[in-house]
Structure 1
């Protein structure tokens, strides 16, 4: 338990963190990697370069300060982050290292404003927060290893099949090299892929949603090739997977993880909305519903650049033909001439509320969505305008969480 003095001191830093939070976390990562370069084998370098990881950590620190007297309110965020930590292999011994450089960064950025009283309060608070993460993650590690077909750390899987799904997305069907059972998962969860890429100094780990229903003898991930765009370099891992990893090759996987999952207890209609490669967890949910709850109404809506980039469309169309309770609609930002022949898509441009309302039978449903951040902001805004209750809106970020407001 934190003392009232510590709580008040932490709360007094909230306005400062709102202004200087990203500067503090940027300084933190610079110090951390300078003194512990081995941790570059865990963190996503691309997110670091784009500033996404720094912003996400700043938001987490800010939230912790705001809710320091009622940390139970941010437990869902703790669990979400803990799932990512477990899938990456973050260990209890990493937390004292992080705490050391976080406090050093606060001191460096705030200067004389970071008094001994403030630093001591944050040291005490960090100990409590780190303890919560360590406890939650310890349970997750045990569950991942001890479940049927489970394992610790990373396990070797063979690429049984590699199938091009669109001009930018390829699916990898992965089976365990040891021939043993694999852990089940909840639709919406992801695995981490760990790669040693020739010519790279550090190991790279990326998380990919499982794009098939659970209960199979394989895992399927469907990976978008991230090409260089403007000031964003090409994705090293996605390029390597697409161009260098062949059928018969080996990938190292963590056990499935993630908090963004289909609520199977809610028997109301389901609405699945995706943009781009954000369709991967939605496809897992869709296939699961088709296999296990064929009497449940499902509306599947997907946005893509055009038909060339639209992955797994035939798979979805087959489900709609087999089950009249499943409907699917496409929105293409820039449809090609071939797309415009017949009824290849249902809307040109971007998803908006009137079109969603024309495709969704009722807002009394469970809504799930995933995709690029601008897409997610637009969908979230539309659902709020429609007055869909917040408790019925569920979403997933690829990479560090960001704000959907604004």
Structure 2
């Protein structure tokens, strides 16, 4: 029986998901239905890079802070208002790490952005540069704290705000004859405004800075944040890069129509994974407490994440039904322009299944603080996946990316199972 608070959090995360991911998918479908394929590709590519930048700047802070706050609550240090010294040390350590990460990323993109191909597309170039500059606000985000406090509903609602702003701006500007540069600048500023509002909302709701006091941090605190948070970041980075590499191949090798359809299908797949991840965020604090009790079997780990598996099954059924409708030409008229994207998304259903299994195992390892093996397996799977795409994309095109993604998830799952069985955590 799911506790009442979990249901409330699930509703909040669901609304946030529909507002954020849903609005962006609607904007993408809108562009395709109006045959604005190049704009759809540029916006989709730009948003994928901005999302990756979010991950880089966060440096695993969300998972690290969620784990630290959950442990703090289990030790009964939480008073409901403010935070213990240990939690404040974790927060200030992560803020310092994020600040350095943001400054480094901004410098790299500013210097090397034109050499990375952004200048060929002024819309995505301006969008990416302005958004990364505005991600300064994201240094102070408290998503992990909210998750650890079991306030994931508020966390999900706040995270949707930047996506809603960008989606609304995309639909609004696509109806006017504006230059790609202005389009990109406006999208970047919209994302920045949404990020600022989201962070302010998180700080107010978390109440973490009530009775504010400066916690003195030392090198040990920073190194611990880097070890656990950085390990979580390295475990996520290869998978995120894998999707961006596939999008890059699509933009370079596919026709504008097929590239736009593929990018939209990848965004749908990412949204589906985020929906499954939404359930995992609710399950994470309890998983931390469970794994703190001692040895746990793989079957118990899966049972404790049954909500995320249920979500995955429902999404797979829905995607398959939409794919059948697309293949049999039974889509409503307003979705005809997105028929190829919907069909490609159905082809990616096995990827969602395999990623749900690997993701459950990865979350267990991260909840127990064992991030090194996760990072190592992710790096191995990334290089193997990229090699498969590079070798087969000319022959089987989209199917090469499906195969590469499945192999990547299988490799991660096998290595995770082996590690769990060996250590019995």
- The answer to which structure has the higher helix fraction is 2
Same fold by TM-score greater than 0.5: no
TM-score bucket (shorter structure): under 0.3
Q: Which has the higher contact order (CA 8 A, sep 6+)?
A: 2
TM-score by length of 1: 0.27
- The answer to which structure has the higher strand fraction is 1
